[in-house]
């Protein structure tokens, strides 16, 4: 720190000493968990404003919690989307498939079939239910825990597994970290490992859609920790200045890799409240309530389509598992947190709702879970025939230098020639197949 300038007060004056606050989670490993500080309002108590309202009218909704499913497993209040039973069963099926897929891929990583995986256990409603509220051709810009969107949109599971295994069937040719999918046909923008880059991209895409007079909107998903990135704040500025038809979904699952949400600002205010400073519409939603997730996303989509402006939605949820297969949450948080989380499990809550209205039962749920697990197992076997980590089945060597430039520049041609020379030196008796 620089020396004090001349004429300033001496070090020993009577002004109070400054202190720095370092956020600290409430519970560490071994602690007893008490979530009583989290205010959980009654289901149906949050008002539902007009979709074209002024953002200033939504102040309280950025601090409350939009909820539909009550303790009685029934739907309540103005946010009830009143979905028919077939739609609810389809939603439950997508969530069950997502959970079965996660379990199989997690097991595959532990068996050494891939290097990395990330589960979304406990957060399925924030991707499945929310994406069901969008049009199928609305462009989505996901983070790395939104596999439920692809599953809901019908993307073939085998393509997802090929990408995870980086095998010869991987359409991305092994150039992306496992779980970083991409599908133009399903309006699913390429996932990036660089945090929050998708937010200004989503806003820019939405601006372009508006400039062309198109009818498609954009939606992006970002973790609460990533809202501390500059890209997120740039996205908010451009979204509100240009009235971009975009939805900014913030998944507040309480934890980044090993740092709790306080490091991104959760101790001071809600993440939905960030909308207020930008002039955005802001909603804070029970992220474990599938009906509330659907209702909020549909509200924001209708608002965007009516040229009434962008919306920032905070989905208040909980990351039930580790951040990834490279993470051990027992080293930084209490093991009781998952079971004590006051908003429950999204799959169980939707299942119980269907049972409560007489449209489901435990037997059918058990059958659904079994069929999902068996389907994922079958498709995994098909994908494994294309190769797994270290199996030797991969894309042809030459593809390393393809698909980037229309005409390969001189420096990459030199690198390609050098790579071929080294390969021939390593395998003097002939190159392996592929």
Please report, for the domain that includes residue 266, its CATH number: 3.40.50.970
- Which range has the worst mean pLDDT, 14-18, 52-56, 297-301? 14-18
174: its two tokens: 């092994």
Regarding whether 282 and 236 lie in a shared domain, the answer is yes
Higher pLDDT, 94 or 395: 94
Give strand ranges (E) for 287-398. Answer: 311-316
pLDDT band, residue 434 (cuts 50/70/90) = very low
Residue 71 placed within a domain = yes
104: its two tokens: 């199989």
Q: Assess whether pLDDT exceeds 60 at residue 320.
A: yes
Regarding whether 412 and 363 lie in a shared domain, the answer is no
Rounded to a whole number, what is the distance in angstroms from the first to the last CA of the chain? 59
Confidence at residue 39, expressed as pLDDT on a 0 to 100 scale: 94
pLDDT band, residue 143 (cuts 50/70/90) = very high
Quick: pLDDT tens for 352-387. Answer: 999 999 999 999 999 999 999 999 999 999 999 999
Query: 411: domain range?
Result: 397-426
pLDDT band, residue 258 (cuts 50/70/90) = confident
Regarding whether 402 and 369 lie in a shared domain, the answer is no
Rounded distance between C-alpha atoms, residue 312 and residue 220, angstroms: 10
pLDDT band, residue 394 (cuts 50/70/90) = confident
pLDDT band, residue 171 (cuts 50/70/90) = very high
CB 131 within 8 A of CB 149: yes
User: Given CA atoms 222, 227, 231, 233 in this order, what sign does their dihedral have?
Assistant: positive
Helix-helix angle 157-165:85-110, to 10 degrees: 20
Q: According to the per-residue pLDDT averaged within each range, which of 58-67, 262-271, 384-393 is highest?
A: 58-67
Closest Cα partner for 332 from 226, 268, 264, 261?
261
Residue 48 placed within a domain = no
Higher pLDDT, 339 or 400: 339
With a CB cutoff of 8 Å and minimum separation 6, the contacts of 130 are 219, 249, 293, 294, 296, 297, 315
Residue 264 placed within a domain = yes
Burial (CB < 10 A; 0-12, 13-18, 19+), residue 133, is buried
User: Given CA atoms 420, 172, 163, 177 in this order, what sign does their dihedral have?
Assistant: positive
Query: Which residue has tokens 């489901």?
Result: 360
Regarding whether 345 and 311 lie in a shared domain, the answer is yes
Regarding whether 404 and 376 lie in a shared domain, the answer is no
User: Given CA atoms 314, 320, 325, 330 in this order, what sign does their dihedral have?
Assistant: positive
Residue 41 placed within a domain = no
Rounded distance between C-alpha atoms, residue 151 and residue 317, angstroms: 20
Regarding whether 107 and 175 lie in a shared domain, the answer is yes
Q: Assess whether pLDDT exceeds 60 at residue 266.
A: yes
User: Given CA atoms 333, 103, 318, 353 in this order, what sign does their dihedral have?
Assistant: negative
Query: Which residue has tokens 């992220």?
Result: 287
Task: Work out the percent of the chain whose per-residue pLDDT is above 90.
Answer: 86
Regarding whether 311 and 223 lie in a shared domain, the answer is yes
Residue 6 placed within a domain = no
Element (H, E) at 108: helix 85-110
pLDDT band, residue 221 (cuts 50/70/90) = very high
Confidence at residue 10, expressed as pLDDT on a 0 to 100 scale: 57
Regarding whether 330 and 186 lie in a shared domain, the answer is yes
DSSP labels, 2-56: PPPPTTSPPTTSSSPPP-------S--TTPPP--TTS--PPTT-S----TT--GG
Mean pLDDT of 327-342: 93
What per-residue string of b and e applies to 344-370 under the rule 16 or more CB within 10 Å gives b?
Answer: bbbbebbbbbbeeeeebeeeebeebbe
Domain count, the chain: 2
Confidence at residue 253, expressed as pLDDT on a 0 to 100 scale: 96
CB 318 within 8 A of CB 253: yes
- Per-residue CA distances from 165 to 180, 181, 400 (Å): 11, 12, 17
Query: Which residue has tokens 């709702």?
Result: 353
Confidence at residue 431, expressed as pLDDT on a 0 to 100 scale: 60
Mean pLDDT of 223-252: 97
Quick: pLDDT tens for 278-297. Answer: 999 999 999 999 999 999 99
Mean pLDDT of 53-59: 96
With a CB cutoff of 8 Å and minimum separation 6, the contacts of 175 are none
Rounded distance between C-alpha atoms, residue 313 and residue 64, angstroms: 12
Regarding whether 410 and 362 lie in a shared domain, the answer is no
Mean pLDDT of 211-231: 97
Closest Cα partner for 127 from 94, 158, 105?
94
Residue 276 placed within a domain = yes
Residue 431 placed within a domain = no
- Which range has the worst mean pLDDT, 2-6, 146-150, 326-330, 343-347? 2-6
Regarding whether 93 and 196 lie in a shared domain, the answer is yes
Task: Work out the percent of the chain whose per-residue pLDDT is above 70.
Answer: 96
pLDDT band, residue 7 (cuts 50/70/90) = low
Quick: pLDDT tens for 402-427. Answer: 888 899 999 999 998 998 889 889 88
Mean pLDDT, the chain, integer: 94
pLDDT band, residue 12 (cuts 50/70/90) = low
CB 287 within 8 A of CB 123: yes
Mean pLDDT of 191-220: 97
User: Which pTM does this prediction carry?
Assistant: 0.93
Number of Cβ within 10 Å of residue 414's Cβ equals 10
pLDDT band, residue 247 (cuts 50/70/90) = very high
Regarding whether 255 and 315 lie in a shared domain, the answer is yes
Q: Assess whether pLDDT exceeds 80 at residue 432.
A: no
């Amino acid at each position: 720190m620089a020396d004090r300038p001349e004429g300033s007060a001496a070090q020993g004056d009577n002004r109070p000493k400054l202190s720095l606050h370092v956020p600290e989670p409430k519970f560490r490993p071994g602690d007893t968990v008490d979530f009583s500080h989290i205010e959980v309002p009654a289901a149906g108590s949050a008002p539902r404003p007009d979709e074209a309202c002024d953002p200033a009218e939504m102040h309280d909704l950025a601090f409350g919690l939009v909820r539909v499913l009550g303790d009685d497993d029934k739907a309540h209040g103005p946010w009830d989307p009143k979905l028919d039973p077939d739609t609810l069963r389809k939603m439950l099926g997508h969530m069950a498939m997502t959970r079965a897929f996660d379990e199989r891929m997690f097991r595959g990583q532990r068996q050494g079939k891939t290097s990395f995986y990330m589960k979304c256990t406990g957060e399925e409603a924030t991707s499945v239910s929310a994406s069901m509220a969008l049009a199928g051709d609305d462009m989505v810009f996901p983070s790395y825990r939104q596999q439920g969107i692809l599953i809901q949109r019908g993307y073939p599971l085998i393509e997802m597994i090929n990408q995870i295994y980086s095998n010869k069937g991987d359409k991305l040719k092994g150039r992306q970290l496992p779980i970083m999918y991409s599908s133009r046909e399903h309006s699913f923008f390429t996932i990036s490992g660089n945090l929050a880059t998708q937010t200004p991209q989503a806003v820019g895409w939405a601006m372009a859609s508006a400039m062309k007079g198109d009818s498609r909107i954009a939606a992006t998903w970002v973790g609460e920790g990533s809202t501390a990135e500059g890209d997120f704040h740039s996205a908010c500025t451009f979204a509100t200045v240009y009235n971009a038809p975009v939805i900014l979904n913030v998944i507040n699952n309480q934890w980044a890799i090993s740092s709790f949400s306080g490091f991104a600002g959760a101790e001071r205010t809600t993440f939905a409240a960030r909308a207020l400073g930008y002039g955005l519409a802001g909603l804070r939603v029970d992220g474990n309530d599938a009906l509330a997730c659907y209702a909020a996303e549909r509200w924001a989509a209708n608002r965007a389509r009516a040229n009434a402006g962008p919306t920032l939605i905070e989905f208040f949820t909980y990351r039930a598992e580790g951040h990834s297969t490279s993470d051990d949450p027992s080293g930084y948080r209490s093991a009781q947190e998952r079971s004590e989380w006051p908003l429950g499990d999204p799959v169980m809550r939707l299942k119980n709702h269907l049972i409560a209205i007489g449209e489901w039962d435990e037997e059918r749920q058990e059958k659904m879970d079994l069929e999902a697990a068996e389907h994922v197992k079958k498709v995994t076997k098909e994908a494994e025939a294309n190769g797994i980590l270290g199996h030797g089945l991969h894309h042809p060597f030459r593809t390393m230098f393809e698909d980037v430039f229309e005409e390969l520049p001189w420096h990459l041609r030199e690198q390609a020639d050098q790579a071929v020379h080294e390969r021939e030196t390593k395998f003097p008796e002939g190159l392996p197949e592929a």
